[in-house]
Amino acid sequence: MKKICLALAMLGACPALAADPVADFYRGKQMQFIIRTPPGGDYDSYSRLLARHMGRHIPGSPSISPINMPGGGGIIAANHVGQMAPKDGTVLTMVSQGLPIDQALQLNPSLRVDMRNFNWVGNLVNANQLLVVWHTTKVKTLEQAKTTETLIGSTGAGSVSVQLPAFYNNVLGTKFKIIMGYQGGQEVDLAMERGEVDGRGTNTYTGYQTSKPQYLSNKLIIPLIQVGLEREPELPDTPLLLDQQVKEEDKPLLEFMSKAITVGRPVATTPGVPAERVTALRKAFMDTLEDPEFIAEAKQQNAEVRPMTGEVLAKTIRELIEAPQSVRDRVKVALQPKASDTLESAPKR
């Protein structure tokens, strides 16, 4: 009987058996991919790369349109996706890497969403965060940064580009002067090139490979420190945060930050999406990363991909937000830049 019904389904006589509610929902839809930065940076490049290919792996093959929504270190985009976007699985975003930390430590009241309620689709890049300086600066090593003031460009207060330099100052004793207010990493890169700032607070090695490969090939930037659980294979001589000599009571702080960085470039859809659509989006995400066309374009863009599944990503973010209160309290203090360490704009040189 089942075989008969399957045959009839092909002729439209058994629609209930043949129906795929997820495909039926997405068929003909135009999805949105909200990008937390202006055009040009690695968040933008990775988001657009994924958006160009992921649609054909989602049941029903919807189209995906990228929309830039910069500001607030990614908070504006996150608030939009978490609060105002349709809760039906038609909106994707690449969340700012620093926002799970921001929520865990309650650093910024303008973040009005709970990262645990997002439906995490997958992590595109599990890569270390680097603080780099321009090749012409006086400071060439992390040890020198402990004795010489260095201007570091960053975005908004909720951004990891502010949090990590502040953490280095407070825990490691560096003398970074954090220049806030740039809309995105692309602007910070231009500021480095102009000599307006000495370096950039955060970006991944893979991010530079994607957006500014000439920085690496021409040795225009010098990484002073990297944050992650292991050193980047290409940067065996750049010190790892976990390897820094600190007081015993400060080691859990290094471990918390190193784990937090593994969320890399996390992709999510809104809260409230039906479970079967979340499952389909997670599968589509992983299938996309194995698509020969995606792989070829990623290689062309020098975009390294080191994925993490949506399930693992969701677990990691929950663990960070629900870490022991004593650790979170101390990390919160360490991530707060001192007033003397920040400027709203770079001083004229």
**Domains of the chain (ranges, CATH numbers):** 20-126+263-323 (3.40.190.150), 129-261+328-342 (3.40.190.10)
Question: Tens digit of pLDDT for each residue in 202-235?
Answer: 998 878 887 899 999 999 999 999 999 889 999 9
In this predicted structure, the answer to whether residue 191 has a pLDDT above a threshold of 50 is yes
Please choose, from the candidates 232, 261, 226, 259, the residue with its C-alpha nearest in 3D space to the C-alpha of residue 244.
Answer: 226
Please choose, from the candidates 205, 206, 207, 199, the residue with its C-alpha nearest in 3D space to the C-alpha of residue 182.
Answer: 199
Cα gap 334→4, rounded to integer Å: 67
Question: Tens digit of pLDDT for each residue in 128-170?
Answer: 999 999 999 999 999 999 999 999 999 876 578 888 999 999 9
Gyration radius from the chain CA atoms: 22
pLDDT at residue number 13:
47
Question: Tens digit of pLDDT for each residue in 248-282?
Answer: 999 999 999 998 888 889 999 999 999 999 999 99
pLDDT at residue number 201:
94
Please provide the average confidence, as pLDDT, over all residues in the chain.
91
Question: Tens digit of pLDDT for each residue in 280-333?
Answer: 999 999 999 999 999 999 999 888 898 999 999 999 999 899 999 999 999 999
Over pLDDT 90: what percentage of the chain? 72
